[in-house]
Amino acid sequence: MEKTEYLDLYHQMVVIRRLEESAAELYQNGKIGGFLHLYVGQEAVSTGLIAARRPEDRVITAYRDHGVAINVGISANQVMAELLGKATGISKGKGGSMHMADVTKNFWGGHAIVGAHLPLAAGLALGDAYRDQKAVTICMFGDGATNIGFFHEALNLSKVWNLPVVWVCENNKYGMGTTIDRASAVSEIRHKADGYGMKNQVVDGMDLLAVRETALQVFDEVRNGSGPQFLEIETYRFRGHSMGDPERYRQQEEVKQWQENDPIGIYHQHLIKDGIATEEELQQVVKDAEAVVKTSVAFAESSPEPAPEELFTDIYMEE
């Protein structure tokens, strides 16, 4: 990677972190409605994955989607405007926090029913396989999604049809407030892929470069016909499941311990230690990222509400 690429990944992670922190504040001030699931702590997962994809590779994820949105190149303005339900939002204010997508950037959402997007991912990959296009579909989901039927149907179908999908489980240890050992018959999630004869491995999701390197290799294999593969990426969300989370299910010590393992901090240290960037340069990146987020809040707040007639548009392509 070039130095600018290293710095850009740092920039992306800081934008996500600051954007989520601003969103939390706006939520508490009543400016964001509905549910809000923050990606704080998990930034290295999607940043590393998306850094390894090619433009023709498709991405689809669950409802914790703001990070992916930033990583694929949706502007912070459009993400923040969507959170505020404005006409300038990436989904015109009709989707909200859980439903962001930009199909021109091969980002297919943002899906709020746990596990339901996994069969869709199989279908996206089928679209490429049908046309003999060498592209990978990257499908991200939480550990909670591995207990629902959709997961098993989708993994099975992808293997039966040898589809170019990379199934990425973001294991943040909790399905809402339920720990893995209370919800899943196997505690090491990747073993579920064994049941479908699928190659799988575990990756440290707090290490951006480890995620990126593994992803580069796996995407390459899948692109070249290995069939579907499974990645279990170990991570942790520093905030609650959503803004309405009383967090009675975990100890503050545990959260602290993980926060010391901050993905942005780890990457920061790496850039310094390997002499890729100086403290001053990284401080500048942080300042830039903060400016981007600050601008996005101003943009979103000053953006217009959707026009009333938008209520009745986009129901069908053909009336």
Partner 1 sequence: MARITMREAISQALWEEMERDPDVFIMGQEVGVWGGTYAVTKGFYDHFGPRRVRDTPISESAIVGAAIGSALTGLRPVAELMTINFAFVAMDHIVNEAAKLHYMFGGQMVLPLVIRTVGGGGRQLGATHSQTPDAIFAHFPGLKVVSPGTPADAKGLLKAAIRSQDPVMFIEHATLYQMRGEVPEGDYVVPIGKSIVQRPGRDVTIVTYSKMLEVSLKAADKLSQEGIEAEIVDLRTLRPLDMEPVIESFKKTNRAVVVEEGWPSYGVGAEISSRIYEQAFDYVDAPVKRVAQKEVPLPYNRTLEQMAIPNAGDIIAAVKEVL
Using CB under 8 A, list all residues that contact partner 1: 89-95, 99, 101-103, 108-111, 113, 116-128, 130, 149-150, 153-154, 156-157, 160-161, 313-319
CB atoms within 10 A of CB 131: 8
Reduced to 3 states (helix: H, G, I; strand: E, B; else coil), residue 298 is: helix
Closest CA to 206 of 10, 42, 8: 42
To the nearest 10 degrees (0 to 180), the angle between helices 263-273 and 208-223 is 90
How far apart are alpha carbons 107 and 73 in whole angstroms? 10
How far apart are alpha carbons 80 and 18 in whole angstroms? 11
Q: What is the CA radius of gyration of the chain?
A: 19
How far apart are alpha carbons 118 and 165 in whole angstroms? 10
When the beta carbons of 99 and 270 are compared against partner 1, the nearer one is: 99
When the beta carbons of 32 and 271 are compared against partner 1, the nearer one is: 32
When the beta carbons of 116 and 243 are compared against partner 1, the nearer one is: 116
When the beta carbons of 134 and 270 are compared against partner 1, the nearer one is: 134
> Residue 141 has what DSSP assignment?
E
Minimal distance in Å, beta carbon 193 to partner 1?
16
Q: DSSP states of 220-267 as a string?
A: HHHHTT---EEEEEE---SS-SSTT----SS-HHHHHHHHTT-HHHHH
Minimal distance in Å, beta carbon 92 to partner 1?
3
Minimal distance in Å, beta carbon 226 to partner 1?
20
When the beta carbons of 91 and 214 are compared against partner 1, the nearer one is: 91
User: Are 147 and 175 within 8 A, CB to CB?
Assistant: yes
Minimal distance in Å, beta carbon 86 to partner 1?
11
Distances (CA, A) of 4 to 48, 69, 269, 280, 298: 15, 21, 17, 15, 28
CB atoms within 10 A of CB 318: 3
When the beta carbons of 46 and 106 are compared against partner 1, the nearer one is: 106
Minimal distance in Å, beta carbon 24 to partner 1?
23
Please give the single-letter amino acid code of residue 63. Y
Minimal distance in Å, beta carbon 147 to partner 1?
14
When the beta carbons of 80 and 203 are compared against partner 1, the nearer one is: 80
Minimal distance in Å, beta carbon 209 to partner 1?
31
Minimal distance in Å, beta carbon 240 to partner 1?
24
User: Are 172 and 235 within 8 A, CB to CB?
Assistant: yes
To which residue do tokens 């601003």 refer?
22
User: Are 207 and 266 within 8 A, CB to CB?
Assistant: yes
When the beta carbons of 51 and 101 are compared against partner 1, the nearer one is: 101
**Phi, psi (deg, nearest 5) at residue 240:** -70, 175
